[in-house]
Chain A
Amino acid sequence: MNIIITLAYLLSSILFILGLKNLSSPKTARLGNLFAMSAMLIAIIATLLKNEIVDFTLIIIGLLTGSIIGAIMARKVRMTAMPQMVALFNGLGGGASAFVALAEYYRLTGGTGLNVIISMVISLFIGAVTLTGSLVAFGKLQGIIRPAPVVFKAQRTLNILIFTLFLVMGVFVTINPANHTGVLAILTIALVFGILFVIPIGGADMPVVISLLNSCSGVAAAATGFVLDNNILIICGALVGASGLILTRIMCKAMNRSLANIFFGEVGGSQSEETGEEGKRKVIKYTEEDAAMVLDSAQSVIIIPGYGLAVAQAQFALNELAKMLLNKGITVRYAIHPVAGRMPGHMNVLLADANVPYDHLLDLGDINDDFQYTDVALVVGANDVINPAARVDKDSPLYGMPILNADKAKTVIICKRSLSPGFSGVDNELFYNKNTMMIFGDAKDSINKLIKSLKV
């Protein structure tokens, strides 16, 4: 029987890897997800065949409860709420790993090897950090917790102190594996550390945090795999850990910031929300009719969506506008910055939800050279990702961040709620340019007015 289970795990691993491989193209991605689903199913069935399992009552109760809740959540969630959904699921995965490690600890109570205890400590710590960290991220994205970064003096010192405490307790438990208090102390430390680790992070840095927590949930699963000496957990954990790490690196690069800078840095700390320099410099306000005229006479348009699009739920209106322009024979494409929105790929999902075909969605690298040949760059709810200061101003916190060259287009139309600076707290030079048309108001209203004006 054991051989069959081991082989089933191997088959499952292969299917997981093939599933991820198929995610590399939108044509095969759905099939890939199906592969991963069947891989999971095989792994579960194989596990149920193990003769360690003697009682199925709780298992059936657990599987049914979890499936029903999970299915309802997946069906009910709105596409705009996807970032917090992913954060929540992440936390559950991490939490489950921590619980399994703890359960295994109570089952063995001390009578086990050094490597198992060490893996258990790691799994418990990372899993619990993932749990509370993700819950804080969820709260911030959902608006339950104030999304602004919470920064206080000696934050870094406190974090280092807590982490040191964990290391001390980790060594202590390794030496005295039978000490339950030590294990519970580690759990508590980890839960607190997870909260402290995410509260200083502001909204626009969320893509990095979510990616990192994604990676952590994988590492926690792998560590649990070492506790149970189970290869399927180790393989899947490693795959997810690597995936999260790659995404984290891409997000950091897209902001030209290091991970340390995001967690301990100053950017976003300045909470000057309404410091638009309206008094000092004049921004010319245009109406939707003015903008519609410019759009009408354009030959090519590039749309730049940002988080504001998601907030205003304007994706459907935007697609309607784009379709109108397309019907007039105007080329319309979308330029997607890697950190636009609150999670990697957020804008793509949002626009796909509004039926925008994916071949119209282009990455920064693929479209940036086209702005100079473009008549209109239409910016909807984005700010920092088009701030030219990133290119020239060495003192700007945005300096060095790759930006979309919206300013190179003949005309830039910016739909924005107010003049307030973006997340970085930096003013945007582009708003004052001669070729920029600012339209103030809710993105959805503005786009609907644009549509109306174009119809006339």
Chain B
Amino acid sequence: MIDPLLVSVYVFVLAIFVGFETITKVPPLLHTPLMSGTNAISGITLVGALISAGAGHYGLSTILGLLAVIIATINVVGGFLVTDRMLEMFKKSKKKD
């Protein structure tokens, strides 16, 4: 059995490579939406916050968890919606504008 920590390190390193390969292909045109989109993705920490807030310990850790749920949700919802708003604006030229 491999140490679970080692597996996590594997996953981390490979994901970095996937990230580099995918994101290098994003054109400068879309760098702002890329930024706000990845921003929303970093709100994945919400998953951790949910566990902290819902584990039923009722103490400092729950309060911190609730706080984390709120701000991570702002990050996720706001980030994705604003990215969508931006991407909606990018249009190709029609023949006659």
Question: A residues near B, CB below 8 A?
Answer: 16-17, 19-21, 23-26, 29-30, 32-34, 36-37, 40, 43-44, 47-48, 50, 52-56, 58-59, 61-63, 65-67, 69-71, 73-75, 77, 79, 82, 85-86, 89-90, 92-97, 99-100, 102-107, 115, 210-211, 214, 217-218, 220-222, 224-244, 246-247, 250, 323, 326, 336, 338, 343-346, 348-349, 352-353, 355, 357-361, 363
Contact = CB atoms under 8 A, between A and B. Distances in A.
A44 B47 contact: yes
Contacts of B35: 86, 210-211, 214, 243-244, 247, 343-345
A236 B47 CA distance: 11
B60 A106 contact: yes
B47 A96 contact: no
Given A231-B11, A352-B91, A67 B73 contact: yes
Given A17-B18, A104-B52, A106-B64, A345 B29 contact: yes
Given A79-B89, A89-B75, A338-B28, 8 more contacts: A36-B37, A44-B50, A47-B50, A107-B55, A115-B5, A246-B24, A336-B28, A348-B28
Interface in B6-55: 8, 11-13, 15-16, 18-20, 22-55
Contacts of B15: 234-235, 238-239, 242
Interface of B: 4-5, 8, 11-13, 15-16, 18-20, 22-57, 59-62, 64-94, 97
B29 A358 contact: yes
A227 B51 CA distance: 12
B68 to A, nearest CB: 4
Contacts of B40: 36, 40, 89
A115 B4 CA distance: 11
19 contacts: A26-B30, A30-B88, A32-B37, A33-B84, A48-B54, A67-B73, A69-B78, A70-B74, A77-B82, A86-B32, A97-B48, A102-B64, A103-B64, A211-B35, A217-B42, A226-B8, A234-B15, A244-B35, A361-B29
A433 B30 CA distance: 34
Contacts of A211: 35
The list of the 3 closest CB pairs from A to B, nearest first, reads A66-B73, A242-B19, A62-B69
A73 B5 CA distance: 38
A147 B67 CA distance: 30
